[in-house]
């Protein structure tokens, strides 16, 4: 019995020692070892825009910290800098992009065509549209700007068959007599009138028949002028990037920064160039087709400058005359039996010395 107690006591001591050892291991050995594991890994990114074919130097690189579980083998860690520096970019790298093995190579790939073509993102295309001082926001828009594009159209009514602008031109229908028809017994009888449709050199616009309410007499109205087109304006494209303002250079090997050749006079002196009248936009292929249609239909295009960090898209309502009247609470003036005297005529007639708004007197005829 005494021996059994001794064995139980020994077992208890062993169990207590195992528990104490396990706790001590977790507290003083296992946790410090776990603390030594890295909590993040630094990988290389493009610290600045890198063009296609450009050799990568240490000054062009930056680093970011990511979780160890997010690091993949194709990334370049801080210890792999010698493997990255000296390689060439296979295509343009935007600032902040994580560099992987597929983006760089030992030799620069040959670039065919103009150098600025490599600046167009995949799936996009560049297209030029006419521009002037107003459509370029007073020349505040230039390369790299983010803009919206507005378009204004003029709508007219057309004849569905002729596809010509209404009203149509009228012609003269004249009667020259009556035709004869033969009866079965061989005799002839008067038939339908013979009508001749003749045009005149200057046709009259097609009008409409109205009834005078006072005299109860019909009269024929013809328009006093041609059809007035109806305008509508709408925002067509949002957040598009300007590739270049003005013409590209025609010199071989030129870059997008190379200015176009300036004209010179007979003595070789540079001639002042006119302001740019063209702007190149980077758009989707479908949007380029839309721009082609707008240009060939003489739609009025204008660009509005926006903040480059603003990536929002807003739904806009097209502007028409009815929209302006309702949106801005503009009343249609009533036809009154009185009016205001024009400002300039009134003061000029009073002869009180307001020469800035009065026209110069016409000298008497000799």
pLDDT of 37: 59
The mean pLDDT value for 319-334 works out to 94
Task: DSSP letter for 121, please.
Answer: P
Q: Which of the four pLDDT bands, split at 50, 70 and 90, describes residue 284?
A: very high
Residues 6+ apart with CB under 8 A from 56: 50, 84, 85, 86, 87, 88, 89, 99, 104
Q: pLDDT (tens digit, 9 = 90+) per residue, 155-207?
A: 999 999 999 999 988 877 665 555 555 666 666 656 556 666 555 555 678 88
Neighbours of 291 (CB within 10 A): 22
Higher pLDDT, 354 or 312: 312
Task: DSSP letter for 29, please.
Answer: I
Higher pLDDT, 69 or 366: 69
Measure the CA–CA gap between 96 and 134, rounded to whole angstroms: 36
Higher pLDDT, 65 or 5: 65
pLDDT of 315: 92
> Is the model's pLDDT at 289 over the cut of 80?
yes
Higher pLDDT, 79 or 179: 79
Mean pLDDT of the residues in the chain? 81
pLDDT of 365: 54
> Is the model's pLDDT at 72 over the cut of 50?
yes
Cβ distance 119 to 256 under 8 Å? yes
At residue 189, φ and ψ (nearest 5 deg) are: -140, 155
Closest CA relative to residue 355, chosen from 339, 344, 340, 363: 344
Cβ distance 64 to 42 under 8 Å? yes
The mean pLDDT value for 254-280 works out to 79
> Is the model's pLDDT at 270 over the cut of 80?
no
The mean pLDDT value for 40-68 works out to 87
pLDDT of 233: 96
Q: pLDDT (tens digit, 9 = 90+) per residue, 176-190?
A: 555 555 666 666 656
pTM of the model: 0.60
Q: What percent of the chain has pLDDT over 90?
A: 34
pLDDT of 153: 94
Helix, strand, coil percentages in the chain from 3-state DSSP, rounded to 5: 20, 30, 50
Cβ distance 263 to 109 under 8 Å? no
Higher pLDDT, 176 or 101: 101
> Is the model's pLDDT at 245 over the cut of 90?
yes
What are the residues facing 230 on neighbouring strands? 155
At residue 284, φ and ψ (nearest 5 deg) are: -75, 155
pLDDT of 32: 52
pLDDT of 354: 45
Find where tokens 């507290």 sit.
27
- In order of their start, the domains of the chain are 41-111 (3.90.1210.10)
Measure the CA–CA gap between 169 and 204, rounded to whole angstroms: 5
Measure the CA–CA gap between 305 and 136, rounded to whole angstroms: 8
Q: pLDDT (tens digit, 9 = 90+) per residue, 337-353?
A: 988 776 555 556 555 44
pLDDT of 34: 47
Name, of 70-74, 251-255, 271-275, 282-286, the range with top average pLDDT.
282-286
Task: DSSP letter for 50, please.
Answer: B
Residues 6+ apart with CB under 8 A from 59: 47
pLDDT of 290: 96
pLDDT of 219: 85
Measure the CA–CA gap between 56 and 76, rounded to whole angstroms: 13
């Amino acid at each position: 019995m005494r021996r059994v107690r001794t064995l139980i006591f020994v077992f208890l001591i062993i169990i207590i020692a195992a528990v104490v050892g396990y706790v001590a291991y977790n507290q003083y050995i296992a946790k410090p070892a776990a603390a030594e594991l890295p909590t993040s890994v630094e990988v290389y990114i493009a610290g600045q825009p890198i063009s296609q074919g450009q050799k990568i130097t240490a000054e062009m690189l930056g680093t970011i910290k990511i979780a160890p579980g997010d690091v993949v083998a194709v990334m370049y860690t801080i210890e792999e800098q010698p493997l990255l520096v000296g390689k060439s970019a296979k295509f343009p790298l935007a600032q902040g992009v994580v560099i992987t093995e597929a983006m760089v190579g030992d030799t620069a790939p040959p670039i065919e065509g103009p150098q600025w073509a490599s600046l167009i993102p995949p799936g996009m295309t560049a297209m030029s549209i006419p521009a002037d001082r107003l459509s370029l926001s007073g020349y505040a828009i230039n390369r790299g700007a983010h803009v919206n594009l507005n378009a204004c159209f003029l709508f007219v009514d057309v004849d569905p068959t002729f596809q010509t602008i209404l009203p149509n031109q009228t012609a003269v229908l004249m009667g020259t007599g009556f035709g004869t028809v033969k009866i079965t017994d061989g005799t002839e009888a008067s038939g339908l009138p013979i009508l001749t449709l003749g045009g005149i050199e200057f046709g009259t616009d097609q009008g409409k028949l109205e009834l005078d309410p006072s005299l109860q007499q019909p009269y024929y109205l013809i328009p006093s002028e041609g059809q007035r087109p109806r305008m509508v304006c709408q925002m067509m494209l949002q957040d598009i990037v300007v590739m270049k303002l003005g013409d590209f250079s025609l010199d071989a090997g030129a870059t997008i920064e190379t200015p176009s050749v300036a004209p010179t006079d007979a003595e070789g002196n540079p001639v002042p160039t006119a302001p740019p009248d063209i702007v190149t936009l980077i758009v989707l292929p479908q949007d380029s087709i839309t721009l082609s249609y707008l240009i060939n239909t003489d739609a009025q295009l204008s660009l509005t400058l926006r903040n480059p960090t603003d990536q929002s898209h807003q739904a806009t309502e097209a502007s028409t005359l009815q929209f302006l009247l309702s949106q801005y609470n503009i009343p249609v003036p009533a036809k009154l039996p009185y009016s205001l005297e024009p400002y300039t005529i009134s003061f000029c007639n009073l002869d009180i010395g307001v020469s800035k708004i009065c026209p110069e007197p016409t000298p008497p005829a000799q």
